[in-house]
Structures are given as structure tokens and as C-alpha cells.
Chain A
Amino acid sequence: MASNSSGGSSDRQRIAQQRLRIIAGHLQRPVDGDSAILAAECKAQGSKPDTSREEKTVPRRRQEIMKWNGWGYSDSRFLFNKKGQAEFTGKRYRLSGMIIPGLKDWFECTFGASLQHKTPATPLLNSSAVQPPTLNEAFVEELKSTGIPFSQDAEDRVFRAHGHCLHEIFALREGKFGRVPDMVVWPNCHNDVVKIVELASKHNVCLIPYGGGTSVSSALECPPEETRSIVSLDTSQMNRILWVDEKNLTAHVEAGIVGQDLERLLNESGYCTGHEPDSMEFSSLGGWVATRASGMKKNIYGNIEDLVVHIKMVTPQGVIEKSCQGPRMSTGPDIHHFIMGSEGTLGVVTEVTMKIRPMPEYQKYGSVVFPNFEQGVACLREVARQRCAPASIRLMDNEQFKFGHALKPQVSSIFTSFLDGLKKFYITKFKGFDPNRLCVATLLFEGDREKVLQHEKQVYDIAAKFGGLAAGEDNGQRGYMLTFVIAYLRDLGMDYYVIGESFETSVPWDRVLDICRNVKARIVRECKERGVQFPPLSTCRVTQTYDAGACVYFYFAFNYRGLSDPVHVYEQVEHAAREEILANGGSLSHHHGVGKLRKEWMRETVSNVGMGMLKSVKDYVDPNNIFGNRNLL
């Protein structure tokens, strides 16, 4: 294999072939619509139905299929067409190719935005605006001799210089680049990583591991004060399932694999991990481990810390791993917990053994409408108390319910629209729900058919006690779809002066309502005080239930017309919102991680001694700060 992606004719040929295949893939929508798993329809299908080694979703040159200055696939985006109707392009998603009639009104009313006022992004990545790489020649020379592919191409480097925080994307859209990695390496396996880390240590080069690039904590940002050469270590080519152990129900997987590939490949042999974070199309196994990720269906399968059995990580001090795969050990503090959440500050996760489960026989969506958010939360609390939460249960507040409603695609038959009307009439007129207060919980049940139906009944019975009315599978499914397209929607907003983001926390049950109310109110107040001309969208949902609390997600967006520095205003408001979260007993993060964005609160979060503990681990494992992304501490 060529040592440099920009050189070598075989490489170029390969890329050309891949491009052709991708284009073919876009033209031909794979025909697996009858799949038993409905959930798969929510997210994009892999770019190709074929799943042989080279056919993985993420190529080395991500720019071939993904946007350089926005979320997701290049072919999929929202736009307002000539008639002013919103549509979603591409073929990957359920919503692809559809008209969404309600979106324009919702968009204009909610934000005071107008289709007349556009803020288009810089269309092309201008490589000459990227600062030239600072190279460590000795390191480059030795790396070449290992045969591990690398690149100093500006596009490659820019792609790995950011996650998806608002300020990061905003800057890209304006064609602005800060400090970017000086080169990118693509190890192919664990041993490649060992070699790279050794070389980096030897030549004092800064390494920043890169998995799926979906970070929302500024974790991928290159520290501006870093003077050494920065090498982005892209794990995307380490994406094989090395073995599946059907006896123990585990799979040993390279850490660079992205969620959708992992699930699809396991599904082929009748298994799944069940780990489905909202970013699973693009986020990687190694990234999940490094940030303590959480999946939508954690109620059945658990969060990442429940799923991993064994982790292999390469650090400047060598490789760390456990000697066996016992399901639980009493051997001092669990070293996995030094690794999980280390956010790339200690080393690179290369291989992970994960629990797998047989694929569920049956899946069913559902939804419940509650007269108000308080009742909804009370119901979720009761469900958690009885420990009968379905695979997923999420409660959206009224604003988000309306948002979801605005995303309803054009209905094809008069009958469905008639039914919708009838449903609305029943809920608001007959049952007396206030359309400006009602909220909806979306549900996903999984398991064998009989049990699912039984479980469903149990949950609906509880819901009924809190005034909840079953509102159909369709509403439920659309709720989950929103998860996958919301990041695309942000790009649409940014075309029209609207910026926004989501952030999350976890909080004890007795504070859920207070935190939701106070944080939303704080956002509104802060926007007003900072001169935002239009009331912001400030909404939340409860996305996970636990025995002792819940995970709450906030969405916040506003129209920035008339503001000279909208990103700064945005950051101030988000900062205030986080302070409000902490003051209301919420955690610094449930699963997004700390990165550099939330570092300032770490000390008060884990105490001085806690900080000292973490620091001493870092000092031992990486005394020369080779993994110098400066996250967390």
C-alpha cells in the first residue's frame, strides 16, 4: 500500500473505483425495505448493501461521502425548494425525497425567520486558507518506513480538526480554519497503532485519536497553544469484527468500526449489540468507550460500560488490557474505568470485546400523549419505579411535540389526513387536552412478540393512570426519526440565520421538573438579556430513565439576525444554561463527555482529590503528554 494517500497510482485507482461505486449506490436505493427491524429504516442505510472488507461506510477520504462543513452525508440535506416547501434530499432516510409541508410555517413562526434572509455557507473548502503543516521530519521518515498510510492533504486535515459543536461548524461555514492537525494517519490494526504511538513518543509528536468525528464537546479541537506537530490518528480503517463467540455471546471488534456497520455486520449473523447512540451512523466503538457513550436502548442492553467485556488500549507506557474475560472481577478499582471516559487523553482504544445478543424477534413503536409535561414525567418515574421501561422511552415537551409535528411528511392519502384530523379532534376537543400544554412520550418495545405485547399493555396501563392516551405507532416512530435528522436540520437553520444545539444532563427524579423548567426559562431570559431579537426555541425531553434519575436533553436555537457575534452569544447562553443545570442538581454530562467545552466545571464536579487522582493517572500513563488534546483535565 502506498505510504501517502496523495501518491501512488494504485491508491488513486482504488479511490476512483470507490467513487464510482458510491455514485452507483446513490442512484440505486437498496431494496431491503422488508427488513424485520423497523428501527433500521430510521437511519440511513449503509452506502452500499455489499459488506465486504473494502465496502465499509467510512472511507479514508471522508470528503467523498460526507459534508465538510455540516452534518452527515453530502447527498442528504434539508432545503426549501422553489415553492418554499421544505424537502429532504437523497435516498438514505425514510424522509428522503419527501416534502415536509409544515416545516416552513413552523420554522418561520418559531424563530421569526424568513426564507428571504439567507446566510449561505462558503460552498467549497479553500485549501489555501489552511495553514501549512508543521511536520516533524524524523517522525514522518520513520512512519513512512512502517508503510502505514498517512496524508498531509489540507482537506484531510481540516476534516479531522473539528467535531460538531455549533462554533466549529459555524466557523467552517464561514471558511475559517483554526489550528488543524498537521497530518493524518490511518492505522490498519492494533499493531499499527503500537508503532505509531512508539514513534510519536520517540519524536515527541502530539497524537489526537479520531474515530467518527461526532464529538460535541470540542474534544477534537487542536489546542492552539500546541507547538509540536499534531498527528490525527484516524481509526476508521480498523473496522473489522475479529471474531464472534456464540458460546459466550461476545464479539471482538476493532475500535474504529462505526455503529451502523457493527450492527449491520452482526445482524447478518443474527446478532446485535443493541448499542444505538443517536450518532450511531458515524460514531465509532472506540469513541463510545472513550466518552462513556449511552445508547437509546440501554434499558435492555445497557450503556457502554455495561456492554464492554474487554478493552485493549495503546498508551505511551505500553498496552493496557485485562488478562481474562471474566464477567465481573474484584481486583481493585476497575481499570476499564480509567479508560472509559478518558477522551483520548491516555491512549488509543484499539480492540474491544463486547457483549452481543440475538436479534430481537419483534419490535414495536408506540406513543402516549399526556395532558402536560408534569404528568408525563410522573409516568416515566412510575415506569422506572416498576422497572418496566421499554427498550426506549422518551418524553418530549410541548414545543418538541410541535416540532415533531412540523416534520410530518406530506401524507399521500386523504384517508390518513382524515384520521389525523380525527385523532387531533379526539385528543384536544373530546379529551380536553390543551394543545399548548400536551406532550408526548415515544416508546420502542423489543423482544419476542408475546412479551412485547404484554409489556406494551403494562406500560400503557401505567400511562393511563397519569392521564396518558395511546397515540399510535406512527407518532412514536417519527419521534425516533427526529433524532437522526435533527443534526441535518441544524444545517438548514444555519442557512437562514438560525443557530442552535443540544446538550444533556442527568438528574435525580425529584429534580427533573425543576431542572427542565429552570433551564428552559434561563435560556429564554439569557437570550433576551443578550439582545437576541426573537424568542428562542428552548425545549427539552427526558430521554432515558434510571432507577434513581433520568437523562434530560435540551434543545436550544435562535434567530441571530441583528447580532454581531452570534456564536459568542450562543456560547454565553449555553454556558449560563450549564450553570443552571449544575445549580439544579444536574450532572455536567450524561454521555456527551467533557472535552474542552466543559472542562472548567470538572473540579467542582469531581472534587479536588478526584482531579488529583485523574491527573496522577495521566502523569503516569502519558508523562510527555503525547495524547495532547487537553480534554477533561
Chain B
Amino acid sequence: MSDRAEYRDSGRAGLVDERQFVDILEERRHSSDLGHALRTFNPHPYQGAAPCSAAELNKAVLEAQYLRYVTKEIAMETGSSVEEVRKEACGILEEMSQNLQLGFIRLMGYTLTKVFKRLFTSIFVNMEGLNMLQQAIQETPVILMPNHRSYVDFLIISYILFTYDIPVPVIAAGIPLAGMKMVGEILRRSGAFFIRRAIGSDKLYWAVLSEYVKAIVRKGYAPMEFYVEGLRSRTLKSLTPKLGMMHMVLEPYFKGEVFDITLVPISISYDRVLEESLLAHELLGVPKPKESTMGLLKASKVLQEDYGTMHVNFGRPLSVRQLCHGKINRCQYNLIPRSKSSLQICTDLWLAHLMVRIQEEGSLISPWSLMACLLLQAPITVLTEEGLLWQQLTEKTLWLRKLALDYGARLNWSAPDSDVMSSAVALHCSIVHRKAGRVYLVQEEELARKRPISLEEGVTRTAAAVLMLASYRNQLLHVFVRPALLATAIHITKSTQRNELFTFFCFLQDLFSYEFIFIPDKLSQDFEEACLLLKKCGAVHISQQEVTLSDMGLEALSFLQALLQPFIDSYQVMFRYLSEEGVNVFTEKQFLPAVRNLATKLILSGELHTYEALSSDTQKNVLSALRRLEAVTKLRASEQNEYKVNKAAVRRTGDILCKF
């Protein structure tokens, strides 16, 4: 079907076999936490690589020829002395570097056991993946690539590896974490190293960072963990991968400094995410609280609630050598001395996307995600006022469960159907509540009590709940997105011609390239996959030239199309704003509230049915997509990220979305 199929864990799609997963909290609940923290830790590292202290590592980085070369170059350019630049480099390194110490890993282990036991009923880890990882770590340098959906998962990998006697990783983290009192230092000693955001064109910083990362990979004494998505996803949807870090990590292989590198995609899935409400508000424009130790302590009230289970699924280790075989010509590096090369090979683009796709496929879909999906397709007044019939929801959920399984989703559904659905709703009492055979959306009550709320506030209030629902729906979008794009293409174009549908499918992929993850240059495979999946659920007949509708699969087809409708509607709102109401030149700071106002107005007037247009994530994605389509350009000279819009082009794009 697609190239990707070979990287899939074969035959493991479907209902998740709980036997493969072991609840690591189970043992913690029966034995001493302290005993666990003080366990003998004696892992087998990469081919007997000598342990390397943080100081030794930093020394090696500072003495690396590449860094010396860049230092000299910068000194020449800026007119400062080599010594000054070197000092600066030292400073950067000091700010950045981890200081992994076993003692702190033990402390971390002790603390996390306490926290996890309180938050989660269980933390499931797949043993098979862990065994393969243990093997891989002895053979090549290993890069752990988890997704990032919650602050909770920051140290979970270290925790698991510590528990199973595997070398604990050094972890790339954002610099704000380093600023937290005490906690920053504890994280540093637990193996975190800190990277500034928006490095831009700071040549020295890039040089120090890349040498640091590469030195860790080359030495291989500890696996390296980083988030290929770059950030914690606010929407629980996979993010377009960031390439800088990916490139740094892979370069030692491309340059032949190591024989191979193993990438281990890790999918962390939650029944319920701690930050759900925080994230929804952030998306609605309420600023995220700055990372601080006080904030962390204040957040301790979230510790009182139940967050269900967490699944950590270690993917099959992937050899970079095999992945790049025949795709990347390493000879490109032959004519550049080792110490100077920083040649960019752009082909690692697909590799980063591939990793995110594997993370997606490895993630576990919770029953609640299925339900959220369906709840979002109900008219909003039904959810807020009349209530959705429980009976109707459960029937539809079971139908969707089957469709998801047909489409290869990994479903976490381990009890009798009715129990599963009831407990899912119970766990998410912050979003919905069930009363008298009906399900209602929960609206924030505290606000309501203080004073009567304005219409606009009412919209925001509902939006917060809807965005929370949407984020759980987002967890399973990857399962349906390809056939959904095709269903949409069929719906909009009303065509049966394969090539016409393919053209429109490509347009949609292009437009939504920041919304969903597609591996570049895999368009036709994605299209084929979409066709096959639609055929599988009986929605279409496929011939050489044609894709024709069948009566059997109307339900699936309309479900899939409705799945994308909020995105299409939101995009149209923004296209409308840009092509009609807005000014020619604007900044992002102006754009977001303006669009939010317009969307609120449209919702109130009943013209717009989705609250997702209010999400700043969607708004930013539209901007990126339009830049990609060159309908919006960033003004180079501008200090404040000003954009210039080509109204005609935006209108054209909008027209395509609703033409025919």
C-alpha cells in the first residue's frame, strides 16, 4: 500500500492486546517506592561506550575542531577576539548542558512514582518494544522520539528506562524549563539539556548546539531523547516536525562518524490530559502561564483528579541506514573537511514526517476519542440545551469503533462495551455529563455565577468545551484523514474521475499541510490508501479511471466529510476575513483577535457552525498554509512579523474550496 507499511508494526493494529502491555504502576503499588528509587541500576550501554561525565562532554565540545573553526570565523566577522567568542561559547554551553547524575535519577524516580500513582490508574508500557530498545541500545546510538502531549510525559521515558535497567536518556528541553527555580536544576541533573527558542541566525549558538548534540550521538553513552514536533501539542494533534534538531541528530551518520543510528518512535497516549482546560483556554487567547516552580506547586490541585490510564508504546527501532538506503548520497560530504561541514541535506524532511506518522500509528485511540468525534458532529444546541441521547451516542460509537478498527487504528477497548463508554464519560466529567439518558456539554459554571454573561463570553465559554472535545477528536484524526480528504474531494467536486479527484486531493493536502501530517512526496500513495480505505467500508467502487459512490457506505462517507467540515468552515472564515475585511498588511498580533471577533460574530448570527475557528492554532495554520501557497507573504524588512496579503489569491483559494 505505502512505503510506510513496512515500518508499521505488523499485525498489531486493532484492539490492543493488553498482554503486551504491562502496567508499571502495578508493582509500585505493591512494593516500596524507596526500594524502587534505590534499585541497582546496571544497564548495558552502547558497545561498552565509556561513561562520559558532563564535564568531559563539554570539554570535548569546546575542543571540537568544528567549534574552533566557527569561533574563529565569528571572531573575524565581528572583530572581537577569539578568546571573547570562546567565552561566549562557554556561556552558551553552560546554559545548555545537562548534568546527568544517577542520584537525581533516583530522586526523580521516587517523586514520579508518588505523582504517577496519584494521577493515573495505570501506566501501560509495551514490553516487546522495550526489549527491542534494550537490544538496539547496545548496537548503535539511539534516538528516542516521543510525542509530547503533556508536561507529565517529560520524564516518563527516563522513568521507564530506569525501571527496566536501560541507560537513561539525555533530553532536549525548552529553555523556559531551565528557568524554574530548583526544578530546572533537578531536570538538568536528570539529563535535560536546554535549548533556546527562536535561535534565528545566532551562528555561535547553532554551532555550540549542533556540536553538543552531535557529540552526544557520537559518544553514544546515553540515548538522546527529543521531541521531533518541537513543542507540546496544544491541540493533541501531531505537529509539523521541526527539522533543525533532526538534522543535527542524523548528521553523524551522514558523515560516517557512526555506522548507524537507531530511531525509536514512541507514542504516548492519555485517556485524559492534565492540561486539557488550560490548553483550550490558551487556544482561545488566554496566555499560557509562565513555567515557574510556584505555578507547578499551584497546579497541584490537578493532582486530586483521576486521569485514567496512560499508554507508552515504544515503536520498533528503525535503522537510519536502512531508512536512507538509496535515498541519500553520503558522498556529498566527501569534498568538505570533517571539521567544517554543516551541509544541509534536505531529504531528512521526509524522515522527520515519517517519524511523526509512526508516532501517530503507534498511539492508542481511547473510546473517548471516538465519542468526542461524534459529539462534535452533533449540532451545538443539542449538546448545550437538548442533550444528545445516550442510546444514540453509544450506538454510533460502536459503529465508529468498527470503522476505526477497519482502518487499522489501535484501540484501547478492554471491557464490555457499555462499561467502556460509561467510564469514558465519567472520566471526562469536566467536559460532558450524563443525565437522564442524555449527554450534555459542561460549561464553566464559576464564571456564570458571578454575573450574567455577555453573548460573546457565552461563545467563549462554549468554545472552551468544544475545543477540549476537539482535542480528543484530534487524537484519532490521523486514522481517518486520508479517506476524509477523498470523501471531501468527492463531495466538493462531485466528480467520479480519478485524476480530477486526485488533483483536488492534492490541493487539500497542500492546504491542510500544517493541519495534518503528510509525508512529502507520498501524495499518490496517500491517495491510493484513501481509495482503498473508502472501498473497504463499502463507500465507493474503484476502477482504473473512476471512483464511483456506492449506496452502502453513505454513513461512512458523510461521517468522514463531517470530520473535516469544521476545518473547511474555519478556513473559509479566515479566507473571508483576509480577502474582504482585513487590511493589506497586518501582523500576527492583529490577525488573531480580528479573526476571532469575526468568527464570534458569525457564530452568533448562526452563519458559522464550528467553534474551532476560534482556535489560535487553526488561525496560525491558515496563515502558514497561505504563505506556503504564496497568497500571503512575510515582509522581510519588518521587525514585527508583518504579512502582506494578496487578496485575489486568497479569494481564489477560498473559491476552490466551495466551487462546483
Question: Chain A residues near B260 (CB, 8 Å)?
Answer: 521
B336 nearest in chain A by CB position: A585
- Contacting residues, chain A, for B259 (C-beta < 8 A): 517-518, 521-522
Q: Is B346 an interface residue (CB 8 A)?
A: no
Q: Tell yes or no: B334 within 8 A of A by CB.
A: yes
A508: chain B residues within 8 A (beta carbon): 337
Q: Which of B329, B330, B331, B339 contacts A510 (CB 8 A)?
A: B339
Q: In the assembled complex, which residues on chain B have CB atoms less than 8 Å from the CB atom of A604?
A: 331
Q: Does B104 contact A (CB under 8 A)?
A: no
Tell me whether A461 is interfacial, beta carbon within 8 Å. Answer: no
**Whole-angstrom distance between the alpha carbons of A511 and B256 in the complex?**
8
- When distances are taken between beta carbons in the complex, the residues of chain A under 8 Å from B256 are 511, 514-515, 518, 583-585
A582 interfacial by beta-carbon distance below 8 Å: yes
Q: Say yes or no: A583 contacts B257, CB within 8 Å.
A: no
**Interface code B237-267, partner A: CB below 8 Å = 1, 0 otherwise?**
0000000000000000001110110000000
Evaluate whether A582 and B257 lie within 8 angstroms (CB atoms) in the complex, with A510-B337, A510-B338 already known: no
Q: Are B339 and A583 interface neighbours, CB within 8 A? A: no
Closest chain-B Cβ to A536's Cβ sits at a distance in Å of 16
**Chain A interface extent, by class:** 10 to 19
B333 within 8 A of A: yes
A417 CB to closest chain B CB (Å) equals: 32
- What is the interface residue range for chain B against chain A? 10 to 19
The CA of A498 and the CA of B260, in the complex, are separated in Å by 28
- Complexed CA–CA distance, A522 and B259 (Å): 8
Q: Assess the A585–B339 pair: CB atoms within 8 A.
A: no
Main secondary structure, interface of A, reads helix
- A-B Cβ contacts below 8 A, count: 28
A578 to chain B, nearest CB (A): 12
Cα(A511)–Cα(B334), bound, Å: 9
Within 8 A of B (CB), among A506-539: 508, 510-511, 514-515, 517-518, 521-522
Q: Is the interface of B mostly helix, strand, loop or mixed?
A: loop
CA–CA, A604 to B332, complex, Å?
A: 12
What residue of chain B has the Cβ atom nearest to residue A515's Cβ?
Answer: B256
Quick one: which of B257, B329, B337, B339 contacts A514, CB cutoff 8 A? B257
List which B332-378 residues lie within 8 A (CB) of chain A. 333-334, 337-339
- Give Cα A514–Cα B257 distance, bound, in whole angstroms: 6
A522 to B337, CA, bound (A): 23
| B330: A residues at CB distance < 8 A | 583-584
A607 vs chain B, min Cβ distance (A): 12
Q: A583 to B255, alpha carbons, bound, how many Å? A: 9
The 0/1 profile, CB within 8 Å of A marked 1, for residues 135-161 of chain B is 000000000000000000000000000
Partner of B333, one of A517, A521, A522, A585: A585
Cβ of B521 to closest chain A Cβ, rounded Å: 23
| A515 to B329 CA separation, bound complex (whole angstroms) | 16
Contact flags B417-456 to A (C-beta < 8 A → 1, else 0) = 0000000000000000000000000000000000000000
A604 CA / B331 CA spacing, docked (Å): 10
Q: Closest CB-CB distance, B17 to chain A, in whole Å?
A: 30
Q: Contacts A518-B256, A522-B259: A585 and B334 contacting too (C-beta < 8 A)? A: yes
Rounded to whole angstroms, the CA-CA distance of A585 and B331 in the bound complex is: 6
In the complex the two chains form, is A582's CB within 8 Å of B338's CB? Answer: no
- Write the nearest CB–CB distance from A122 to chain B, whole angstroms: 39
Shortest distance between the CB of B251 and any CB in chain A (Å) = 13
Asked whether B331 lies within 8 Å of A583 as measured between CB atoms, the reply is: yes
Instruction: Give chain B residues whose Cβ lies under 8 Å from the Cβ of A584.
Output: 256, 330
Nearest to A582 among chain B residues (CB) is B331
Minimum CB–CB distance for A467 against chain B, Å? 15
Residues in chain B near residue A518, CB distance under 8 A: 256, 259
Residue of A nearest to B337 (CB): A510
B505 to chain A, nearest CB (A): 37
Q: Which residues of A contact B334 (CB under 8 A)?
A: 585
Q: Closest chain A residue to B140 by CB distance?
A: A521
A386-B257 Cα distance, complex, nearest whole Å: 26
Instruction: Please state if A511 and B338 are interface contacts (CB–CB under 8 Å).
Output: yes
Taking CB atoms, residues of chain B closer than 8 Å to A514 are 255-257
- B257 contact set on A, CB distance < 8 A: 514
B307-346 Cβ-contact flags toward A at 8 Å (1 or 0): 0000000000000000000000111011001110000000
* Nearest CB in chain B to that of A518: its residue: B259
CB distance from B56 to the nearest CB of A (A): 16
- Residue of A whose beta carbon sits closest to that of B332: A583
Q: Which A residues are CB-close (under 8 A) to B331?
A: 582-583, 585, 604
A168 and B402 alpha carbons, distance in the complex (Å): 61
Q: How many angstroms between the C-alpha atoms of A517 and B334 in the bound complex?
A: 17
- Chain B residues within an 8 Å CB radius of A517: 259
The 8 A CB mask of B167-178 against A (1 = contact, 0 = none) is 000000000000
Give the contacts of B206-232 with A (CB-CB under 8 A): none
Find the A residue at minimum CB distance from B335.
Answer: A585
Q: Which of B543-580 contact A (CB under 8 A)?
A: none
B interface list, Cβ under 8 A from A: 255-257, 259-260, 329-331, 333-334, 337-339
Query: With contacts A583-B329, A584-B330 known, what are 6 further pairs, Cβ within 8 A?
Result: A508-B337, A510-B338, A518-B259, A521-B260, A585-B331, A604-B331
Jot down 20 A-B pairs with beta carbons below 8 A, ordered by A: A508-B337, A510-B337, A510-B338, A510-B339, A511-B256, A514-B255, A514-B256, A515-B256, A517-B259, A518-B256, A518-B259, A521-B259, A522-B259, A582-B331, A583-B329, A583-B330, A583-B331, A584-B330, A585-B256, A585-B331
**Residues in A lying within 8 Å of B, measured CB to CB:** 508, 510-511, 514-515, 517-518, 521-522, 582-585, 604
| 3 nearest A-B residue pairs (beta carbon) | A583-B330, A584-B256, A521-B259
